[in-house]
Amino acid sequence: MSNTYSVKIAVIGSGSWGTAIAGVLSGKGQDTVLWGHNKEHLAVLARERENKKYLPGFLFPGTLQVESDLKKAVEGAAVVCMVVPSHGYRSVFEQLAPHLAKNCFVVSAVKGIENSSLMTMTQVMRETLKDDIKTKNITLSVLSGPSFAKEVGMGLPTLVTIGCDELDKAKKLQKIFGSERFRVYAARDMIGLEISAALKNIVAIASGISDGLGYGLNSRAALITRGLAEITRMGVKMGADIATFSGLSGLGDLVLTCTGDLSRNRTVGLKLGEGKKLPQILDEMEMVAEGVKTTKSVHDLVQRMGVEMPILDQVYQILYEDKDCSTAVKDLLTRELKVE
């Protein structure tokens, strides 16, 4: 991977975020391929050169190709960027793994934790690849940070982080992905990036619930602050660097997702706070709100690891036990008093 950036990149997942990433890469002149699971949808993308369903208003750069064959999309790619929701991640990755090129980079840009295994996405990939990681010299990495797809598509300044176990490799990806309006920082703390990215969605649901109940800005600020404390506790317990949680993937993404009108997870919380039921909310949404599934995963992780996460616990009870939102807030506020 030289400074000319002349490599093939496969973006796996044609939702809003996958389309935005593909747009950034192909906009730099990169040889970029966008794959999605729905062949009919991909045919429309190829014909219209725009993703009107998930990211309308942004025409595809000329170098962006659309490919419905997963094997063709991945073969020969120096970088494969996975942008598939966590519940379908393993299935898609198992299909493409045999076709990964030697010495390639696989980047997870997904903010979730698998329900069945309680694994992060890089852990899922590592388990799937087994010995191929070494024999084919495949590098796993994570892309995370405060980045609404619509704003990335608009070319608004966005800052993210790419993490690899080896910093030199993260710096290579930094050059591949980075542009004037898409600034990329390099890091080594992959587990910290994944945990902060996944768990902030739960706090965003809580923030939305608070806003939907009309509880004001004081409550939102408190939820963000105490939510960050919970995320940090879990991350450190799992071996993350505490500094990660004050960075772009931690505090940065948390603030964005808890306050931004484009946040799907905050939207779920808003509607819950306004009195709607979860099945109805999810039926009305075109795109996945990862925080709903992640709440269950993290609830199970808490039981396994013994980490205190009271906000997570109340969100879980609202989502999966139909607890009244006002009662959940009251139970949070009337807990035993603590020292910060």
The catalytic residues are: 200
11 bridge partner residues: 34, 81
Q: Tell me whether strands 105-108 and 31-35 are parallel, antiparallel or unpaired.
A: unpaired
Separation in Å, CA 201 to CA 12, 50, 298, 307: 22, 28, 11, 18
81 bridge partner residues: 11, 107
Q: How far apart are the first and last CA of the chain?
A: 47
In angstroms, what is the C-alpha Rg of the chain?
20
The residue type found at 293 is K
143 bridge partner residues: 162
Residues 6+ apart with CB under 8 A from 156: 181
Sign of CA dihedral 154, 159, 165, 171: positive
Count of H-run helices and E-run strands, the chain:
16, 10
- Using DSSP, state whether 312 is helix, strand or coil: helix
Contact between 199 and 234 (Cβ < 8 Å): yes
**Chain-centre distance of CA 236, in angstroms?**
19
Burial of 208 (0-12, 13-18, 19+ CB in 10 A): buried
